[in-house]
Amino acid sequence: MKVAVHGVSGRMGTTLLRLVHAADDLELAGALTRPGSPAVGRDAGELAGLGALGISVSDDVAAVLAGVDAVIDFSLPEPTLALLPRCVASGVPLVVGTTGFDSEGLAAIEAAATEVPVVFAPNMSVGVNVTLGLLSLTARALGEDWDVEVVEAHHRAKVDAPSGTALKMGEVVAEAWDKSLDAVAVYGRERRGGPRPSGVIGFSSIRAGDIVGEHTVLFAGRGERIEITHRAASRDNFAEGALRAVRFLPGRRPGLYDMQDVLGLSELLG
């Protein structure tokens, strides 16, 4: 399968170049960056520290799309939105890992997905997505009688808290209870909060050192508890997920897919 990476000069872009090159079943056949980037014309392998691969970094989207089976995009919202109609015109399916779209951008992704298959997921980590499936199953089985707490830890430079992934985990539990997260979330308790009511989801955040990202969801019942933990060690996990997503595309009908579809979780978990 011939794959192009869009956004190759970025942190995710170089990680993807490395992992696509290392995959036996994928061929790196295109490397796209923004027009005017100093990376244009350089060998993509050299950009990723792999040595020369004979693939030049290009800003010529049409030429690259003519020679590939799929594109993996980790760039910025504006370049992604410019890429979508080009992929539609060339009939090339794509994986969109870029985040930060407004409602118009999300509508443009949905519109493109009526013409070509698109996998779109703001978190492509296989482990995180399987964890979300486990949380849904666990919360549905246990119900609201079990107390739920989400505890997350990240490096000291992270500015938002709780993390987007922690909030997503809370959303999945709230959804299993048929509630909105806003109605049940309790953030960062202080000393005089009174006893813990049932049916709420508590969030705690740790910010320290260089922790890449850890999330634990604790379900506590009477006399027992379950803890579901995901630990990230590097950003390779997002790129591995994007590779799973690109392998899912051949032969798919046009449509908007997410990582639950890619991993077959809906069928597995019911």
Ligand X SMILES: NC(=O)c1ccc[n+]([C@@H]2O[C@H](COP(=O)([O-])OP(=O)(O)OC[C@H]3O[C@@H](n4cnc5c(N)ncnc54)[C@H](OP(=O)(O)O)[C@@H]3O)[C@@H](O)[C@H]2O)c1
Binders in 225-244 for ligand X, by CB under 6 A? 238
* Pairing between β-strand 225-232 and β-strand 213-220 as defined by DSSP bridges: antiparallel
Q: Is residue 168 within the footprint of ligand X (CB under 6 A)?
A: no
> How far from 242 is each of 85, 104, 132, 175, 265, CA to CA, in Å?
21, 24, 17, 26, 16
Backbone angles phi, psi at 182, to 5 degrees: -55, -35
18, 27, 29, 34: which one binds ligand X (CB under 6 A): 34
Work out how close the CB of 31 gets to ligand X at its nearest, in angstroms, rounded to a whole number: 10
158 catalytic residue (yes or no)? yes
Q: How far is the CB of 109 from ligand X (least distance, A)?
A: 13
Binder among 88, 109, 121, 148 for ligand X (CB under 6 A): 121
Q: Which of 2, 6, 158, 179 is catalytic?
A: 158
Window contacting ligand X (CB under 6 A); options: 32-40, 155-163, 181-189, 216-224: 32-40
* 16 three-state secondary structure: helix
Cα separation, 61 vs 197, whole angstroms: 55
By CB under 6 A, is residue 257 in contact with ligand X? no
- Residue 97 as a binder of ligand X (CB under 6 A): the answer is yes
In Å, how far are 32, 66, 83, 92, 180 from 60, measured between CA atoms? 7, 10, 11, 15, 45
Closer of 98 and 216 to ligand X (Cβ): 98
- Continuous H helices in 53-93: 61-65, 77-90
Nearest approach, Cβ of 171 to ligand X (angstroms)? 17
Indicate whether 76 belongs to the interface with ligand X (CB under 6 A). yes
Q: Catalytic residue, from 154, 168, 215, 230: name it.
A: 154
Residue with tokens 């500015």: 159
Q: Which two tokens stand for residue 3?
A: 């794959």
Q: Does residue 138 touch ligand X according to CB under 6 A?
A: no
3-state secondary structure of 196: coil
Binds ligand X (CB under 6 A): choice among 3, 4, 5, 9: 9
In the set 56, 90, 99, 205, which binds ligand X (CB under 6 A)? 99
Q: Tell me the window of 69-77, 203-211, 216-224, 250-258 that interacts with ligand X (CB under 6 A).
A: 69-77
Q: Which residues, including other chains, have CB under 8 Å from residue 140's CB and lie 6 or more apart? A: 176
Q: Which two tokens stand for residue 73?
A: 């995009």
Minimum CB separation from ligand X for residue 35, in Å? 7
Indicate if 179 belongs to the active site: no
Structure tokens at 26: 């994928």
Which residues are 150's β-sheet partners? Answer: 203, 217
- Given a contact cutoff of 8 angstroms between Cβ atoms, the answer to whether 45 and 21 are in contact is yes
Residue numbers annotated as active site: 154, 158
- The site for ligand X (CB under 6 A) is made up of 6-7, 9-13, 32-34, 37, 74-76, 79, 97-100, 121-124, 238
